[in-house]
Amino acid sequence: MRTQNASEAQGLHFIIAHHSHHSLMSEEAHKHSELTGQIIGAAMEVHNVLGNGYPEIVYQRALSIELELRGMRTPVRIGNGA
């Protein structure tokens, strides 16, 4: 049976640590991609309903309302004097 030398063991620890970190990053990325998809869906709904031609503030307010209707809290309600 062959024994590992110090550099092989160190390399193995690096691979294990990297894999663990990558798995956590993948879980985090998945969580964020799901949220991103929900936000994009809300933005597309606003655009489909309103169409083109309104000032940007109208879309911002509508998106804020649409996100709240979908159960997502927004940090600032646009257009309420905040």
- Condensed to tens digits (0 to 9), the pLDDT of residues 6-52 reads 655 555 555 556 555 555 566 766 777 888 999 999 999 999 999 99
Per-residue pLDDT band for 74 (boundaries 50, 70, 90) equals confident
Domain ranges of the chain: 6-69
**Which amino acid, one-letter code, is at 11?**
G
In contact, 76 and 82? CB cutoff 8 Å:
yes
* pTM attached to this predicted model: 0.57
Provide the CA 33 distance to its chain's centre, in angstroms. Answer: 4
